[in-house]
A = this chain, B = another copy of it.
Amino acid sequence: MSLVVVGSMAFDAIETPFGKSDRIIGGAATYIAWSASNFTQPIKQISVVGGDFPKEELSALEARGVQLEGVQVKENEKSFFWSGKYHMDMNTRDALDTQLNVLANFEPKVPDSYQDCSFLMLGNLVPAIQLQVIEQMKTQPRLVVLDTMNFWMETAMDDLMKVLKRVDVLMVNDSEARELSNEFSLVKAAKKILTMGPKYLIIKKGEHGALLFHSDNVFFAPALPLEDVFDPTGAGDTFAGGFIGHIARTKDISFENMKTAIIYGSAMASFCVEKFGTERLKSLTKEEIDRRMQQFQDLVNFDIELV
């Protein structure tokens, strides 16, 4: 019974209206691992980095119960690098630079010790690579969760459609849901996407919360109203980490438990955006997470008293 996480481990350089970071540690799988490790350990990581990826970052992850047997280190190559700039509304960003580097020829290898995988979290990555990981799994995980993005819809739609047929839960943001379904209404988009493979669909709406769809059921998780969103980079990955972390900890893949998992995801994301990069995630305590979960409950809790 273990959690396997697939995704990039990388460098980011980020500009927001509030400041500018140097080249800092990023990558979907990095955020997912930091987030999920608050809920469950070990985490079995699959990724690739170059020789420039700091060894102390790998050690820090190991100290958090993240196993790195599936992380290839290509000493003579460079790690994936992304640079982007956010605008005031923080929902749109411009990519300033994207250097695939080690990701360009990445061939994931699932170690034998990862074959006990019950929960597979496919972080945002080339769909063909996500598919390779699924295909290397000798037994079907209990739950496969996929995060993806518009870029793959525009450049690798055929592969993405193949991956979709193999996953249980899909996470995308609202504009991606619209793009994938060609429907403007998110309810209609969800109905269409749920015929493409996934049985559960999570639509992330940033500061406007997230929706979970499953057959005719829908659940809405709010986002915590924050004074400042300092840096949204990694918020979606951190959300994914909180979601799958809670599922893996509780070993409960019911719709009811997914609701709670989404609130955990939202709580973790609300921490992520408070500082640049993974900084805030590294210093989190159980008490802080518990307190924030209580804030989410207070935020939406009301009494019905029918007319």
Contacts and interface: CB of A to CB of B under 8 A. Distances in A.
Interface string A283-307: 0001001100110111111111111
A219 B225 CA distance: 9
Given A38-B307, A185-B226, A220-B222, A260 B302 contact: yes
Contact of A300 (B184, B222, B303): B222
A218 B209 contact: no
Contacts of A187: 225-227
A63 interface: no
A241 B249 CA distance: 45
A256 B289 contact: no
Contact of A188 (B185, B208, B227, B286): B227
Contact of A304 (B208, B226, B294): B294
Given A256-B303, A263-B304, A222 B225 contact: no
Contacts of A88: 184
A202 to B, nearest CB: 13
Contact of A293 (B229, B263, B300, B306): B306
A300 B220 contact: yes
Interface in A195-245: 205, 208-209, 211, 218-222, 225-229
A186 interface: yes
A299 B209 contact: no
A260 to B, nearest CB: 5
Contact of A205 (B208, B220, B296, B301): B208
B39 A307 contact: yes
Interface of A: 38-39, 88-89, 184-188, 205, 208-209, 211, 218-222, 225-229, 249-250, 256, 259-260, 262-263, 286, 289-290, 293-294, 296-307
